[in-house]
Structure 1
Amino acid sequence: MTQHNIKLATPADTELLALLGRVTFRESHGDYIEDKTNLNEYLDKAFSFETTQKEVNDSNNVYFIIYKNHFPVGYAKLVLNATSPFIPNERSCRLERIYVLDEFISQKFGIDLLNQTVEKAKELNFEVMWLSVYIKNTKAINFYLKNDFEEVGSISFKISKQGYENPILAKKLFDEKA
């Protein structure tokens, strides 16, 4: 029987998060980035030990790691108090990353990570969770739309000098009636 659990990451998990981040970003976005030099430069910067350590130690970031039978298979990063021009006047947080190793995507670990981050955001009384996702990543966009996110805008995400269109999706965390 497969068992999985999600744990809150700590600074002791920095190396693991940096490696998971680098591998899962390449798996999910590598085919879309034509210039592999740009991709490698981005990975070296965004998922370096130093960058990851700084982000893990920032109290405005919450990381979760999901394990299958004690093996780390994915992670999520929630940025607290993250504003967006597309989400006015509300307490908002950003689901900046939710990545699962390709081999484990079909096992629905993404939904468990999403649910964990939503519960954490609600616990901290955030009203809206938002994220950006690459426009060609239709699998991810459909996943979020199926889980009550709605498109509210769009930004250009830069890797080196190349811009990539990213819709902004948002989800209300509490019922209007509540």
Structure 2
Amino acid sequence: MIKIKIATKADTEVLALLGRQTWSESHGHYIENKNDVLKYLDENFSVSKTKEHINNPNQRFYIIYAGDAPAGYAKLIVKAPNENIDSHHSCRLERIFILKDFIPLKIGKQLLTFVEEQAKALQLDEMWLTVYIKNKRAIRFYEKNEFKNVGELNFIVSGKAYHNIVFSKKL
């Protein structure tokens, strides 16, 4: 059984672990220097950093479960302008990750739909996100789910730029 819950402060450690594991699985192989990967994970997915984010009222987290097992999560940033987006009521889907072992269940679509509904309930009218240009599976997923390429930006890890596409979708 698949279920999705809105994360609370009590979920901080689960979110930190999910974040670290899913980012490593989906992006770690793109970073040449593995010490840079570890540094990035330590800086961005520690329990203290996750606690800081979950305490921010403009950041929302959602956890998807397969049975009792956390299988992935999403992070939505409310009030997130982008120069490529005209809306003043936009949000950023900063993260949506499914653990590698659960990808065959195709639950990413369920999580995305849930987050889109949450954004609509907050009266947001456009969602944007970024995806690494070499991440073809993610690009196909977003295009299939009606996101449009609206620009680009660089994602920096240890001073090295990684070219990202900015995708947007009207809600």
TM-score of the pair, normalised by structure 1: 0.95
Partner of 1:169: 167
Find the partner of 1:78 among 62, 76, 79.
76
Partner of 2:139: 141
Question: What is the CA-CA distance between 1:125 and the residue it aligns to?
Answer: 1.1
- Give the superposed CA RMSD: 0.7
Question: What is the CA-CA distance between 1:106 and the residue it aligns to?
Answer: 1.4
d(CA) in 1 for partners of 2:67 and 2:140? 28
1:160 alignment partner AA: S
The percentage of counterpart residues that share the same residue type is: 49
Question: What is the CA-CA distance between 1:89 and the residue it aligns to?
Answer: 3.9
Partner of 1:176: none
Mark the runs of 5 or more structure 2 residues left unpaired by the alignment: none
Partner of 2:148: 150
1:104 aligns with 2:79: no
1:61 alignment partner AA: Q
Q: Which runs of 4+ in 1 moved over 6 A?
A: none
SS state of the match for residue 30, structure 2?
coil
Mark the runs of 5 or more structure 1 residues left unpaired by the alignment: 174-178
Partner of 2:54: 56
2:78 alignment partner AA: L
- Paired residues in the alignment total 171
d(CA) in 2 for partners of 1:125 and 1:106? 32
d(CA) in 2 for partners of 1:116 and 1:90? 22
d(CA) in 2 for partners of 1:52 and 1:106? 27
Question: What is the CA-CA distance between 1:88 and the residue it aligns to?
Answer: 2.2
Task: Say if 2:87 and 2:126, in contact at 8 Å, map to a contact too.
Answer: no
SS state of the match for residue 156, structure 1?
strand
SS state of the match for residue 29, structure 2?
coil
SS state of the match for residue 76, structure 1?
strand
Question: What is the CA-CA distance between 1:37 and the residue it aligns to?
Answer: 0.9
